[in-house]
Structure 1
């Protein structure tokens, strides 16, 4: 059982289990989707056009939470560095881990009707950018710290004491400004507080999520750290915060679901938020002078922008009309299969993009193609095809998966 748990937490398992459904779909045997690779070249061209529009010199940053914190062209990260200026580089990395972890965990789909108004800039933001800016401002105002003399931090005690009104106020939730999955987000923060306290080996004796920096620095060898090591630390330390998930021998598996066409136990792992978090933790580590290796061991992110891109560019075609017209739960086989096919198609798109640009995996890793890239392209084509830019498939979100 321990071996199976370890396996299901690995990027190898994500690609292997998703690959079963991909091969099935390519062979025409999928229950829900036709998978056609003929439009792959066109899809790569569409993504490249978006990349060149966003990053003409092809100097693409990582796909991470930090990109959303510059929404509206505001230099919030420079403001953050200014606020943290008196800290040592190591302490600054811990604070940035605090912010990244809390912001990513609160970034699980906002719904189409919510927005955040930022008083200091007089700007409004929706979806992921709105959630990022809201969590950034909450962090800077000390919303996650129990120490009034040290606002720029997240600590276990404050998270455990977090109440619904804190979230309602921070995210400006009102009857006319509803945020989906509010209760799920609150429970996630409270559980995070308990996990921080229970795992001092990861989060220290004065528990903060940012203390994971100390654990990871201990894994550095010859000034190098594998991306998969960061991913494993995220999964091992945070697995217990997720609600309503599959478990093995009492161990919570996180973003792992079942599909009837997957061999053996039927488990299909994704770990979308955990990989998104991993990508977001790499930059503070790089700022410490640590070289991150093995970036492409991790996978593309199976969420509705990347998945929507695959449908809107006709790499995937739903076999039944109700797939597009009926909302689906996260654990439904339709959504599990859509996400699995998205993981594999992102690898295919990335390979085609690199070939067309004559760039290597080292020059253009998947994490940059996602940023440049497929996520932005998914949003762009959704806006071209549907009112309000909604994804082609509707998901019943609990605020903890997407």
Structure 2
């Protein structure tokens, strides 16, 4: 059972939705795109067979993130995004393996405008090559780039609050229970990250986690497309062991073109710039169990990741899952029991007591040496 929906993002400001406008039936070409007034974030339309509806959402803050989706109960829509010259930037038909309604995500360009097109099934060239028709709603949400505050210690590591308190999230994230058909390893809740739904491309993911551009492609799996991540910043001591349980799930199949979706963890320290680790957790080749009872076909089963923190300071932990090469098949990552085990500092009082006890035992065992020692003093 999902108890937190897609795009549970900490520290965001979502644009207040305006009432839905109705489309104009003259907007069947990019040259005649319907320019929506400033602040409008929703429009109701009626798609005709062999036609495309074009819209321009205007006056949004450049650099903010967005999600835009089409909802229809009467036909299978396709959603496209274009630049200011009408060139197609991307299209989406199904937002996930379990949802045929389209969605697009990204960053508001410098112009503050988004050019969008609504068409029918498989019309990837946006020329009206379809026979779909019916009513729909096109909806846009914008929000500031998510950021994280520093916690005094790692909090909500088992997600038992039922939400992402203490974490910042980006993409398609939810809290799951045992009804997901995978038992949490600690308590009754676990986090699920998915590559299906409102996910974001590698450049946005890398910026969110503070990674260098191209870091995710450097794993050598292929071109990373979109994914989801969570992040927490906390303080810890040298020698503490950071650990968590994870289960990588996928519907992807390894093929000659090797679309190997994967999951990863990033650990960095603002106190020591030399601590900057980006490590793979699992990929499609590791998902050998085909008896998954979840919505995914295959999984690794729960594994444990651990990392010894080398210095005392402030750490940033990032965990994510990404699609590689395409967005046709979803992968996911279950996470639970995120914690660090503190190594106790040596107690001088205890050591001093132990030394005195040993000295007392030595004196009782060898009294003649004690006398000698006193005479020498």
Whose strand proportion is higher, 1 or 2? 2
Q: TM-score, normalised by structure 2?
A: 0.24
Structure with greater Cα Rg = 2
TM-score (norm 1): 0.23
